[in-house]
Amino acid sequence: MSDTAAEPTRAAPPAPPFDAPVVAVWRGDLVESVHRGRYVVRDARGKTLDSLGDPEGYVYLRSAAKPFQALPLVFSGAADAFGLTSEELAVACASHSAEPRHLRVVRSILRKAGLSEDDLQSGAHPPMHALSAARLARSDEGPRSIHGNCSGKHAGMLAVCVHAGWEPAGYRDPEGPLQKLVRRTVAKLCGLEPEQVRIAGDGCGVPVFALPLQNLAWGFARLAAGGAEDFPEDLLDAVARVRDAMRAHPYMVAGTGRFDTRLMETADLVAKSGAEGVFAAGSPEASWGLALKVSDGASRAVAPAALAALVRRGLRVPAEVGAVVDLHGETVGKVASLTHGDLEAASGGKNLRRSRSKL
């Protein structure tokens, strides 16, 4: 060939996949459905230790932001002014099940701030705790704002407003002083400028935040580590107190049988899941933060995927295999995380039987 022959074009390496299969739902010998996701693990300095899929893609934090959203309750001085307990701090970070104890603790925050349930603007939904929901359904009352899983967060936000002299009725306003402070705080923890944190409407009526998945991981690494070197004293104190409140009161952060509760009762982590398949956790001991997003938003995939990622971090947690049970109570399948060897089985339609998930 002559010198003027064109060199074969070197194709750009293919972009890494945005996400990858993380959980398979088996029925009998075949994979019935597959959940894809992404995750990132970072240390407290922001160095990425592990990742799957695109770490830069934005994720709506949903309730995983609650520990950050609760920080102003402490660094504003409100928590001390009102004499809030560690348990009350924990419920301010919670997606609680609205069991009787959760409601008592939420009411306690409101009472201490000179407010009541009537000041909550969190929107009503039945308790996440099935038994409590059934009791409520059999009574003549409908669900109220306090039964909503976010009512602790809202109570905490109201308390900040009362302490700071801001109009409590405006606490949800994205342009009001509280929500702007919350946004700055979320940005600060996650290593971003406030304008890099996107805003939309959450389910409960306050702003919800979106930011790159890797920054959520960084935020939880810092939450677990008790902050960062450049944080002011009052923020450092707030981070440590919020982190420790969650770890001391896992039941408050969620409730009976809930994943976040069971995880924090079992492992030395600060953990918080969010709607649409979001999960974040931090290890105070090992100073890392993990952020996971199930791409399709499925809640059933969170525990298997999160536990698999935590096992990769060396945690001794039980690998969770959710049984798929028919109406007769017979097990007909399972929901299980995928090992790399199973990716082909799950994604290749013709070979669904070739390998089973190994946990």
Instruction: Answer yes or no whether residue 255 interacts with its own copies by CB under 8 A.
Output: no
Residue closer to its own copies, measured from CB, 28 or 114 = 28
How many Å apart are CA 103 and CA 105, to the nearest integer?
A: 5
According to the binding rule CB under 8 A, does residue 210 interact with its own copies? yes
Question: Rounded to the nearest 5°, which phi and psi values hold at 303?
Answer: -60, -50
* Min CB(338)–its own copies separation in Å: 13
**25 versus 253: smaller Cβ distance to its own copies:** 25
- Please tell me whether residue 58 binds its own copies under the rule CB under 8 A: yes
Of residues 85 and 347, the one with the C-beta less far from its own copies = 347
Check residue 132 for interaction with its own copies (CB under 8 A). no
Closer CB to its own copies, residue 145 or residue 283?
Answer: 145
Give the one residue of 39, 60, 68, 220 binding its own copies; rule: CB under 8 A. Answer: 60
d(CA 202, CA 217): 20
CA 241, CA 224: separation in Å to the nearest integer? 11
117 part of the interface to its own copies, by CB under 8 A: no
Largest CA distance in the chain: 89
If one counts every other C-beta atom within 10 angstroms of the C-beta of residue 2, the result is 4
| 137 binding its own copies? (CB under 8 A) | yes
- In the range 9-38, which residues lie near its own copies by CB under 8 A? 18, 25, 27-30, 32-36
Contact residue for its own copies among 69, 97, 122, 185 (CB under 8 A): 122
Q: Is position 40 an interface residue for its own copies (rule: CB under 8 A)?
A: no
| Of 46 and 123, CB closest to its own copies | 123
Among 46, 50, 124, 196, binds its own copies (CB under 8 A): 124
Piece of 81-89, 119-127, 241-249, 303-311 that binds its own copies (CB under 8 A):
119-127
The single residue among 40, 204, 223, 306 that binds its own copies, judged by CB under 8 A, is 204
**Residue of 120, 170, 115, 173 whose CA lies nearest to 147:** 120
The site that binds its own copies (CB under 8 A) totals a number of residues, namely 58
Estimate the crossing angle of helix 259-266 against helix 302-312, to 10 degrees: 20
64 and 273 in contact (C-beta within 8 Å)? yes
Interface with its own copies, residue 323, by CB under 8 A: no
Question: Residue 281 CB: number of other CB atoms within 10 A?
Answer: 30
Q: How many alpha carbons lie under 13 Å from residue 112 in its C-beta half-sphere?
A: 22
Q: Which is nearer to its own copies, 168 or 205 (CB)?
A: 205
1 counts as binding its own copies under rule CB under 8 A: yes
Q: Is 123 in the site for its own copies (CB under 8 A)?
A: yes
Min separation Cβ 290 and its own copies, Å:
18
Residues 6 or more apart whose Cβ sits within 8 Å of residue 305:
22, 23, 35, 37, 39, 279, 292, 294, 337
Q: Which is nearer to its own copies, 106 or 213 (CB)?
A: 213
Question: Which residue type sits at 61?
Answer: L
Q: Does 147 bind its own copies (CB under 8 A)?
A: no
- Report the C-alpha gap between 91 and 225 in whole angstroms: 21
Residue 83 backbone zone (phi > 0: left; psi -120 to 50: alpha; other: beta): left
Chain centroid to CA 62? 7
Interacting residues of 250 by C-beta distance below 8 A, sequence separation 6+? 260, 261, 262, 263, 264, 265
Interaction between residue 126 and its own copies (CB under 8 A): no
Q: Are 197 and 210 in contact (CB under 8 A)?
A: yes
By CB under 8 A, is residue 359 in contact with its own copies?
no
Distance separating alpha carbons of residues 133 and 33, to the nearest angstrom: 30
Q: Applying CB under 8 A, which residues contact its own copies?
A: 1, 8, 18, 25, 27-30, 32-36, 54, 56-58, 60, 121-125, 134, 137-138, 148, 198-205, 208, 210, 212-213, 276-277, 294-298, 301, 326-328, 330, 332-333, 347-350, 352
